[in-house]
A = this chain, B = another copy of it.
Amino acid sequence: MLKRYLPIFDWIGNYNQRTLTSDLIAALIVTIMLIPQSLAYALLAGLPPEVGLYASILPLVAYAIFGTSRTLSVGPVAVVSLMTAAAVGNLALQGSDEYIAAAIILAFMSGLILLIMGFLKLGMLANFLSHPVISGFITASGLIIAASQLKHILGIKADGSNLWDLIVSLFSELPSTNIPTLVIGSFATGFLFWSRKYLKSYLLNKGIGHALAEILAKAGPVLAIALTTLAAWGLDLQQHGVQLVGAIPSGLPSLTLPQFEYNIWQELLVSAVLISIVGFVESVSVAQTLAAKRRQRISPNQELIGLGASNIAASISGGFPVTGGFSRSVVNFDAGAETPAAGAFTAIGIALAALTLTPLLFFLPKATLAATIIVAVLSLVDMGALKRTWNFSRSDFFAMLATILLTLAEGVELGIIAGVGLSILLHLYRTSKPHSAIVGRVPGTEHFRNIDRHHVETDNHILTLRVDESLYFANARYLEDRVYDLVMSNPNIKHLILMCPAVNFIDASALESLEAINHRLNDSGVTLNLSEVKGPIMDRLRRTHFVDELTGHIFLSQYEAWNTLRSERVARSVGDL
């Protein structure tokens, strides 16, 4: 029981010198990555930079205790930060105390929702986010995030919760671009793109050892921060209109409970649900990928509890919604993290940064943080996925396209809701017209095959319809239509057999349709028979009146149905003589 809800006991017993070393090295690299990211994502969420640091301390410790992934790196991530900005932005003005309080409430609600889902084992809810919808959503979010950060690169004010508003706002403010900011921003963006691609091989060429080059390459953003901060300080860029991060309170966050104000909770509910599910999906898919590489397992329902605990921890320590980040987790994995202790060590690293480094960040230009975000999110944009999905499945393509367009045009929440709704509707539509075939007997065998594809034996008075789908409300009426059409166009038939080898369940709607078919065929003098009904379905049917009222029989095999109905007819026609 304790082990089930506290996965920490799975590994803490075997902890040794070697794992400690591995975890410490990984923690160092991730800390170097996380400092600029946590500041940047706080900026993206519209929050003061220290909130990003606060969200990167306790949540990591909580996840180390409750999470099942050995290598997941929890903390602020781009998409969830954007969703936080969208949710909280409806309630309060950026920069106000209410805004921060709402973000803290949002983290708490998201934590509660994840915990409840975890205890109720509702991890399957994440399944409703189909891959094309997630992929489209993340691509669109990446574009919105990148666009939203351009104002910091240009040194202008611009706003908007969708791409169109953002672009209009940017264009109208373009004339007031601040040149020194643009220089800093362009330099940082260019340097980050370059360091991401070439810094490692450059360092290797310079004769630096592989391990060190690896670490230094990850420190690209830190280097960009150091260089631009120095420039801002040395050239007194604030006087020239460059926006700086400014004073960040030094020290650790104080623990508090979120405000319990009914109205705010109610307003944030939908957003909290969406953030929880999106965060969970993003986190679980990276955790699963990494776990599989080492033949480890994660438990999705326990992951809900781990992420729930992280968000509660974020909330009570002044942070905002967090989840497992994709790129950081990969880095953590590659750097050799072996247990969640690496996350706890990262938390210590960030805590030290919060205690000591904040004065150094006074001169950090916001444009540098914006550049960090832009470079990070553009790697999430995957327009090629549209083409790949188009090739494979048109309906998935439309769900994806709708998600992208609606997210861009109407914002993140409507985009994802529409995507989920559309993929469910398209799925129901797809199963509402199931494949079915008239079958006949392959001569000399007990096999029955589609009469359109095989040379088969048929009988004037017997018609067999094989339905290749479970029967439920979305296709029950289609089945009725199909059967009536068949009876209309084959006036000679006396027996209809529904062959059900691919029917995995029958719901109450389909049962009513079968009853209606039975009665209506009876009015037309045709018996209804079933064959090859699976065991569990048979058990259910036996509890209904349908079996008693059925004008024909239920046969174990189609061959038996065929033989019985044919010989009955022969017997009757002999009797007629």
Chain A residues in the interface with B (C-beta under 8 A): 124, 126-132, 288-289, 292-293, 295, 297, 300, 388-389, 391-393, 395-397, 400, 423-424, 427-435, 468-470, 472-478, 480-481, 484-485, 487-488, 502, 504-505, 507-509, 511-513, 516, 520, 523-524, 540, 543-544
Nearest chain B CB to A95 CB, angstrom units: 35
Copies in the complex: 2
A413 to chain B, nearest CB (A): 18
Interface of A is mostly: helix
Are A468 and B504 touching (Cβ within 8 A)? yes
Find out whether the CB atom of A392 lies under 8 angstroms from the CB atom of B508. Answer: yes
Q: Which residues of B contact A473 (CB under 8 A)?
A: 127-131, 423, 427
Interchain residue pairs A-B with the least CB separation, the first 6: A130-B473, A292-B520, A396-B508, A131-B509, A130-B509, A131-B512
Residues of chain B within 8 A of A423, CB atoms compared: 473
A5 to chain B, nearest CB (A): 19
- Between A and B, 18 residue pairs with Cβ closer than 8 Å are A124-B477, A127-B428, A130-B509, A131-B473, A131-B513, A132-B509, A288-B480, A289-B516, A292-B523, A293-B523, A391-B544, A392-B544, A395-B507, A427-B472, A427-B474, A434-B504, A469-B504, A502-B504
Q: How far is the CA of A484 from the CA of B299 in the complex (A)?
A: 12
Cα A124 to Cα B473 with chains together (Å): 11
Interchain CB contact under 8 A, B293 and A508: no
Evaluate contact between B476 and A131: CB separation under 8 angstroms: yes
Q: Among A128, A297, A433, A435, which residue has the most Cβ atoms of chain B within 10 A?
A: A128
**A288 to B129, alpha carbons, bound, how many Å?**
37
- Residues of B contacting A474 in the complex (Cβ-Cβ under 8 angstroms): 124, 127-128, 427
Instruction: Give the residues in chain B near A130, CB-CB below 8 Å.
Output: 472-473, 507-509
- Please measure, in the bound complex, the distance between the C-alpha atom of A289 and the C-alpha atom of B512, giving whole angstroms: 12
Q: How far is the CB of A295 from chain B (nearest CB, A)?
A: 6
Which of A400, A468, A504 has the most CB atoms of chain B within a 10 A radius of its CB?
A: A504
